[in-house]
Amino acid sequence: MSTLHMVNKSPFERGAMQSCLEHALEGDGVLLFEDGVYGAVKGSAVTGLIENKAGSVKVYVLGPDLAARGIAGGRLIEGITVVDYPGFVDLVTAHKGTQSWL
């Protein structure tokens, strides 16, 4: 059964996103929100962490947090899905459980 992993810290400041991705199992979901959304941008020093998991885990990012930080949709790594608040709730209910990476 799958887990939804939730990351809300900048990947440039802490290792939460890296540790999360390294522990996520095939079929799990990873939701980036708050400062975690900086991890979703392509062409950065940490882009490889998510790209290495392509096809194994599904990565989601919270749209309102992207907009607040001025990140346009075109700058996201391929394959990442933008969700809104109701979408966030749907993700939680669609997984067996959630795990926060603080």
Partner 1 sequence: MSQVKKFLYVNRKAPYGTIYALESLEVVLIGAAFDQDVSLAFIDDGVFQLAKGQDTKGLGVKNFSPTYRALGDYGVTKLYVEKEALAERGLSEDDLMPVTYEDENDGFAEKPSLIFVDRAEMARVMAEQDVILSF
Are 4 and 31 within 8 A, CB to CB? yes
DSSP string, 5-71: EEE-S-TTT-SHHHHHHHHPPTT-EEEE-GGGGGGGBTTSTTHHHHHTTTTTSEEEEEHHHHHHTT-
Q: Mask: binding to partner 1, 7-46, rule CB under 8 A, as x and -?
A: -xxx-xx--------------------xx--x--xxxxx-
Q: Which residue, 25 or 68, is less far from partner 1 as judged by CB?
A: 68
Counting every residue, how long is the chain? 102
Q: Which residue, 67 or 94, is less far from partner 1 as judged by CB?
A: 67
Shortest spacing between CB 25 and partner 1, in angstroms: 27
Q: Which of residues 44-83 bind partner 1 (CB under 8 A)?
A: 44-45, 47, 63-65, 67-72, 75
Residues of this chain that interact with partner 1 (CB under 8 A) are 8-10, 12-13, 34-35, 38, 41-45, 47, 63-65, 67-72, 75
